[in-house]
Structure 1
Amino acid sequence: MREIKVQDATSTPEKHEQGKKTSKKSGGGDGGGKRKKKRRKLGESGGGEGYKRYLYRVLKQVHPDLGISSKTMTILNNLMIDMFERIAEDAARLSDYNKRMTLSAREVQAAVKLVLPGELGKHAVAEGTKAISSYVSYGSGGRTKK
C-alpha cells in the first residue's frame, strides 16, 4: 500500500515534482499567466535610443559624407530630450492657465516661442506648421470619404 502524506496548511510546501517550478504571483487569479509590463519612469530611456537614429538620418540627408562620434550623438540626443521636455512642460502649464484639459496646437506653438527665443522660435513654429500640413495632406491623399 502507498503511503499518503498529509500536509498541514501552516507548513511550508515541498517541491511536488522535479523540474517543475512553482511561482508566487501577486494580483488577480486569472490563470492566464500573463505578466503586466512595467511602465518606464519619465527620465529612463530603457531599451530605446531616443533620437539617435533620427539624428543620424538627418545628418546623412544634409551631409552624406560626414560622420558623428558617439559622444556627440549622446549630447545631441540629450539636447533633444531636454528641449521636448521643456516644450511639453510649458505647453501643459499654459493649458492649466487656460483651464483646459487638452493640449492644442496653440499651446504648443506658444511653448515653442517661450523656449526658443526670437527668430529661432519663429522659424521653429513655421517649420512645425509646414511639417504638420504635409503630414495631414499625405494621410488624406489616397482616401476618399463615402
Structure 2
Amino acid sequence: MPLTISSANRQVASFAIATIGFILSSASMGLVEWRVWHMDDPSFFPTGHACVGMWRVCIYRHHTNISTAKFCHQYTYYDDFLPLDIRIAQHLLLLASILGLVGKGYSIHGLWNVHMGILQKCKLCRSFVISGLLNMVAGLCILSAVLWNYYSITALQGIAFPPSFQLPFKPDRQETGSAAVVASLGAVLKVLKSLTAVSGMAQPSSELSTEACPGATGPEEAESTTPQKHKQKQKHKQKQEEKQKQPRRHGRRSRRRGHSFATYFARIVKQFPGGLRLSQEAVNVMDSFVHDMLERIGEEAGRLASYTEHLTITTREIQTAVRLMMPGHLGQNAVTAGNRAVLRYTRSK
C-alpha cells in the first residue's frame, strides 16, 4: 500500500512537528523573559533589570559591578494589579495547551487506525482534520498573546506592581524577551502541522476505503437512506431468525456432497497402532462434525472482523475464533496444528 504508507509517514511527520511546537509553547508559559525592563535611574528605585512573565516577575538588582541579587514574585489571575493583556494572554496560553493535547489525541487515534488497517477515508479525514484545526486554533491563540505582548512593549504600557516589589510603574526602557520568541516558534510549528495534516488528507486516496461512514452523507440523503437501512436491518434479522429456527443438518448435508473429509480420517486412523478402522456411519458423523466446526469458526471469525471494522478475515480472527469455539488446551493444540499445516503448505510451494 504505497499511498497509505506515504500518507501515514506525512501524518507522523506532522505529529512530530506538533509535538515540538507543543513543548516549545508549554515551556514559554513558565519562562519570565516575556518583557525585559531596564531601570537605569537610581533616583527612585535601585538600578537593575526585571523580567516580566505571565505568572511571575524576577528582579535583578546590581549591588556592585560584580554581584547581582535576584528576587522573584509570583502572581495569579486574581491579582488586581495585572493589566488586561497579561490576563488574556494567560487564558490564551492555557487554551492553546488544552487544544494541543486534544489535537495530539486525535492524531494518535488516526495513526492507530492506519496501523490497525482501518482505512475508511471518512474516519481518517475526521481524525487528522480535527487535529489540524485544533492545532491551528492553538497556534493562533499563542500568536495573539505574542502580538499583544509586543504591542504593550511598543506602546510603553506600564504595570502597577505592589510597593513590596520595588518596581516602577514604567521602566526607563523595555524590550521583548526570549520567551516571546520561543512561543512564536511553537505557534508557527503548530500552524505548520495543521497545514501538513490537511494537505496530506486532501490528496486523492485510491487505496482508502470509500465505504459509507456515519455522517458521511448529506442531510437530505441521510433522511432518505435511514428508513431503507432500517428496513434492511429488519429483513436481515428476520432471515437470521428463520435460519436459526430451521434444522441445520439438511443444509450441511447438501454442502457435504460437494466436499468430504473422509479420506483424511483414514490417514489419521492409520497413525494409531492396532489396525483401527472407521465404519461408514462413524465417517459420516466425523465429516458432519468437521463441517459444523468449520462453519461455526467461519461465522465467529466474520463477527470478529465486523467488530474490528476489517474488510478481510485475517489469521488473527481465525485463531481467536478457534480458541473461542474449542475450550482449554483443545483450542491451543488446534491453533498450533493449524500453524504447522500452513507452514508445511507454504514450504511445499
Is TM more than 0.5 here?
A: yes
How far did 1:60 drift?
2.1
How far did 1:101 drift?
1.4
The question of 1:84 aligning with 2:285 is answered no
User: Which letter maps to 2:331?
Assistant: G
User: Which letter maps to 2:321?
Assistant: A
C-alpha distance in structure 2 between counterparts of 1:79 and 1:45, whole Å: 13
The question of 1:105 aligning with 2:315 is answered yes
User: Which letter maps to 1:61?
Assistant: Q
SS of 2:318's equivalent? helix
How far did 1:63 drift?
4.3
Unaligned runs of 5+ in 2: 1-249
How far did 1:80 drift?
0.5
Equivalent residue number for residue 74 of structure 1: 284
Compare relative contact order (CA 8 Å, sep 6+) and give the higher one, 1 or 2: 2
How far did 1:62 drift?
3.3
SS of 2:271's equivalent? helix
How far did 1:113 drift?
0.4
Normalised to the residue count of structure 1, the TM-score between the two structures is: 0.61
Normalised to the residue count of structure 2, the TM-score between the two structures is: 0.27
Deviations 1:76-133 (A, max 9, x none): 1111011111100100110111111111000000000000011111111111111111
User: Which letter maps to 1:54?
Assistant: Y
Structural mapping, 1:1-146, within 5 Å: 43=252, 44-45=254-255, 47-48=257-258, 50-63=260-273, 65-139=275-349
C-alpha distance in structure 1 between counterparts of 2:319 and 2:290, whole Å: 17
Larger radius of gyration: 2
Aligned length: 99
C-alpha distance in structure 2 between counterparts of 1:71 and 1:56, whole Å: 13
User: Of Structure 1 and Structure 2, which has the larger fraction of its residues in strand?
Assistant: 2
Work out the percentage of aligned pairs sharing the same amino acid.
33
How far did 1:134 drift?
1.8
User: Of Structure 1 and Structure 2, which has the larger fraction of its residues in helix?
Assistant: 2
C-alpha distance in structure 2 between counterparts of 1:46 and 1:110, whole Å: 25
C-alpha distance in structure 1 between counterparts of 2:283 and 2:321, whole Å: 26
Equivalent residue number for residue 140 of structure 2: none
Q: CA RMSD in A?
A: 2.0
Aligned CA distance change for structure 1 residues 138 and 114 (closer, same or farther; 3 Å): same
Unaligned runs of 5+ in 1: 1-40, 140-146
Aligned CA distance change for structure 1 residues 100 and 109 (closer, same or farther; 3 Å): same
Are 2:300 and 2:321, in contact at CA under 8 Å, matched by a contact in 1? yes
C-alpha distance in structure 2 between counterparts of 1:46 and 1:66, whole Å: 24
Are 2:256 and 2:291, in contact at CA under 8 Å, matched by a contact in 1? no
